[in-house]
A and B are shown apart, each in its own frame.
Chain A
Amino acid sequence: MRVTMSMLSERLRLNLMTSCDELLKAQHTATTGKRISTPSDDPIGAGKSLSLRSVLSSIDQYARNVDVANSQLSVTSAAMDSVVASVQQLRSLALSAASPALTTEARSNLAIQIDQIAKTLATTGNMQHMGKYIFAGSRSDAAPIVENPAGTPPYLYQGDSSQMSIRVGADSYVAVNVTGDRVFNIGSISAPGAPDIFTTIGTLRDAVLAADITTISAQLGDIDLNLSNMIATRSQVGERLRRLDQSREALLDAKTSTSELLSLNEDADLAEALVALRVRENVYEAAIGTATRLLSVSLAEMLK
């Protein structure tokens, strides 16, 4: 083949440009640590990266949702503990008030304690967490348990029965509240056969002051009905908290595996990238070396 000077120089220019371009790419991979920096590097891979990142972003959000739900249900659980403890105390007060041997002074003391329990229950029912009334259903901006100005029943429920759910997975929800009507049996029939707890307390107090042993004993049944309703609600909250723990674990696992997939998909093997960079550098150096040697000789210099 007939070879001309400009063939040599043109080929040299092209080879230099090619190896320089490859050097640039190798440098980019080694410095960013990414195999894919634009979609054209690997269109399918880039699409996969976007999907995996969306999944990761959702997982992170679900994990935050789990934290919110957890904090609210933990507060609810503590409140339920206090409610149950108060009603258990109420029950023992009722038992001791059923004794006919009590003095009038002792009875009025018991009545004060019983009243106090009603106040404690109302306060717990109006418990706030992060500025919202946790037992108010969706009417969370106002206290749900309010004293009845008419006097009977002693307290009214101003919330609603809404269950508020939070998403903790693509298609998985956790209810983060229990409503006061259910807990205190006001305006609902969560403890069938018994009036709401505040009415029961009122009746009990009046009976204690009046030393009406028959009525006191009758209230014990209502207290027990309410108590078992409250304990059931409390274990429901506990069950939700356990589910949240499971969700948290599942999300953590999903996050780990998705991150791994993402890394496999778009991260460069660093050792490989550095070796490739070294090779490209050598090739480029060799190309430059050849360039200086080739273009310096010519027949014209030899002729005299």
Chain B
Amino acid sequence: MSFLGLDIAISALRANQYALNVTGHNIANASTQGYHRQEAVFLPGTMTSGGATTGQGVPQLGTGVVIETVRRLQSGHMDSQIRHMSQFLGSWSARGESLKQVESMFGEPGGSGLSNVLNRFWNAWEELASNPEDPSARIGVVESGVTLADRFRTLYDGLYEVQVQADQAIENDVMRINTLAHQIATINQELIRAASGQISPNDLLDRRDILLDEMSKLARIQTFGEGGGDFIVSIGGKALVQGSHVTEIAITKGPDGWSQLTHSGDGSVFEPEGGKIMGLIQTRSVTVKSYMDSLNAIASTLVDRVNALHSTGVDSSGNPLGEFFVAGTDASSIRVDPALIALPSKLATSATGRAGDNQLALDIAGIKNEVLIDGTTIGAAYHNLVVHMGANSQEAITQYEVHQVSLDYLKTQRESMAGVSLDEEMINMVKFQQAYNAAARIVSVLDEMIDTVVNRMGVR
């Protein structure tokens, strides 16, 4: 009689208790973001002859059970797909949010939009052409000109503000990437230590995955390797994290006044290739910039044309009256001559200076139908800008929705593989509990057998 049986039973008690703890850990983390479910992997104990012999020779007897490892349900392939998708989502969401803001600034189609203000400006000139002697018609023109100039500047300033906000967000996000990189490097350091100490690093891997998920929303990243020391995160084609070493993204002010991003390792320009940062850079330096350029072109054309006509005007004594818009050549600076605001009688209606001559007012009102910019009228050029902006915004919204659906699908897939199912854990709990109970039963049976041998047999 050996005590091998007791050892087996104890191994079973230990293993099932351990497994129950793993189940407990899973249940505890059922709602934890990025948690991968863990599983105690049982392995039969090594064989032994057990001291018995049979006709066929020495039989092999198991030595119970050991927990080989606590396995973390991997979703590596899914993780990289999710990160790939997150980068698109981050990029489109950043663009979509900025463009929503831009849309509300334009205020089209609506009464407050530039289009309406521009119409009122032309109508005021028409009104003056119909009543060139009427002082209130002059005031109407000057006031509508002031409103128009204000609207141009407000819109331009609003767009500039969107650029500034995007630039600040870029800085914040780059700093966040650097922080995340350092956290990942720290985890890699711990993973290196864990590997030498045979500690199961599952929860460290979970934490690193969460950090990588967050980083992938900000910029396109690629990861190589699995462990600590050999783990590489590359961003914009350059290594950001190599094991426990971080090469930060540096922020400097570029010649255009916006933040410029470089890899601090070799000083090369950082191209995010995707993610929120790319979306923000696109917004700041391409999309919104193009709106501002268009707006400037429209405003300049308006200023040039109105001034060219207005400066041919003379007052009743034949003195030239100068320009309508002064000192401003584009949307950021367009402004009605303060002299006109103070004295609307300085407004030119004719080249003869005679009270009833309306030809110049008629001509200026006619600018609205003149083909002056991009093969169309000033008003239509602005309408095209609105269409262009609306289409960009619509694209961002649609792309965001499409990628959101794909990302949701992928996340569901990952959750299906690696998420905690409470039902499953409940069943495991019952399973381990009953196995534990059965092992305990073996202990008491063996105890009875030993009792028989030791106490009953010795009495005779």
Contacts and interface: CB of A to CB of B under 8 A. Distances in A.
Interface of A: 1-7, 10-11, 14, 36, 38-44, 46-47, 49-51, 53-54, 57-58, 60-62, 64-65, 68-69, 130-132, 136-141, 160, 162, 164-167, 170-171, 177, 266, 298-300, 303
Q: A36, A166, A299: which has the most chain B beta carbons within 10 Å?
A: A299
A42 to B, nearest CB: 8
A235 to B, nearest CB: 23
B390 interface: yes
B106 A39 contact: yes
A47 B412 CA distance: 40
B412 A39 contact: no
A139 B132 CA distance: 11
Contacts, number: 195
8 contacts: A6-B415, A40-B99, A40-B100, A53-B109, A61-B123, A61-B126, A166-B129, A298-B423
A139 B354 contact: yes
A46 B417 CA distance: 46
B126 A51 contact: no
A169 B109 CA distance: 24
B202 interface: no
Contact of A43 (B359, B366, B391, B427): B391
Nearest to A44: B387
Nearest to B350: A138
Nearest to A51: B383
A164 B361 CA distance: 11
Given A141-B133, A170-B369, A39 B421 contact: no
A171 B369 contact: yes
Contacts of A137: 354, 356
Nearest to B135: A131
B356 A139 contact: yes
B127 interface: yes
Contacts of A58: 119, 122-123, 368
Top-6 shortest CB links A-B: A39-B390, A140-B356, A43-B390, A47-B387, A141-B355, A40-B393
Interface residues of B, number: 67
Nearest to B96: A40
A54 B417 contact: no
B58 interface: no
Given A137-B356, A298-B422, A298-B423, 5 more contacts: A5-B422, A6-B420, A61-B126, A68-B131, A160-B354
Interface string B391-434: 10110010000000000100110011101111110110010000
A59 to B, nearest CB: 11
Contacts of B120: 57
A44 to B, nearest CB: 6
Contacts of A300: 422, 426
B356 A132 contact: yes
B379 interface: yes
Contact of A7 (B358, B397, B419): B419
A3 B365 contact: no
Contact of A2 (B393, B416, B427): B416
A1 B416 contact: yes
A65 B130 contact: yes
B141 interface: no
Contacts of A44: 387, 391
Contact of B380 (A51, A131, A162): A51
A162 B133 CA distance: 15
